[in-house]
Amino acid sequence: MPNVVLVLGDDISTDHIYPGRFMATVLPNETPQYAFADYPLNNKLNTGQIPPNSIIVAGENFGCGSSREQAVSALKGWELMVVAKSFARIFFQNAVNLGLRLVICPSIDAAEGDELELTDTEVINHSKGKRFPIVPLPATRQAIIDAGGLIAYTRKRLIEERQH
């Protein structure tokens, strides 16, 4: 089961996630090295201390600010998941398009190190012995995320259509 590696409050901007001073780096295979560059998590990511599918927990309006897609690609590159009370609209759409796993959980309560289980209907915090309902994503958006992003989803649909 994945662990929480970072807990953040409300209004975490894309500049917190991917600082603007690194905007010259835009390739998805290069952006991860700058994820949360101003947080201790960055060093842990870059030294391999954080396993894939680890979870970031945040409050309201995660990903607010600019529309920079690099904020999403940086998190996706480390195969992180984000559980937040809510997401900024543009960040949310970029996350769907790039296939970043995200969960809307308005009542989430977790601390760094907590062990979480994500189901289709709830987040179970095994460390606290609590359950929190999630807001399910629309089926098509979830299918895009599950496919790995909009390009992978479209490719899969085109292949399926050709086979029929």
Q: What is the pLDDT of residue 123?
A: 98
Main-chain phi, psi angles of 133, to 5 degrees? -70, 150
Q: Could you give the angle at which helices 150-163 and 139-147 cross, rounded to 10 degrees? A: 90
Rounded Cα distance between 87 and 27, Å, is 24
Reduce the secondary structure of 2-56 to three states and give it as a string: CEEEEECCCCCEHHHHCCHHHCCCCCCCCHHHHCCCCCHHHHHHHCCCCCCCCEE
pLDDT at 24: 87
CA distances from 152 to 74, 120, 148 (A): 18, 22, 6
d(CA 17, CA 34) in angstroms, rounded, equals: 8
The whole-number pLDDT of residue 1 equals 83
- pLDDT per residue, tens digit, the chain (164 aa), is 899 999 999 999 999 999 999 988 878 889 999 999 999 999 999 999 999 999 999 999 999 998 889 999 999 999 999 999 999 999 999 999 999 999 999 999 999 999 999 999 999 999 999 999 999 999 999 999 999 999 999 999 999 889 97
Residue 70 amino acid letter: Q
Residue showing tokens 């189901």: 119
Q: How many CB atoms lie within 10 A of CB 123?
A: 22
Number of structural domains, the chain? Answer: 1
Query: Global pTM?
Result: 0.94
Q: Find the domain containing 148 and state its range.
A: 4-163
At 25 the pLDDT is 80
* Domain CATH code at residue 105: 3.20.19.10
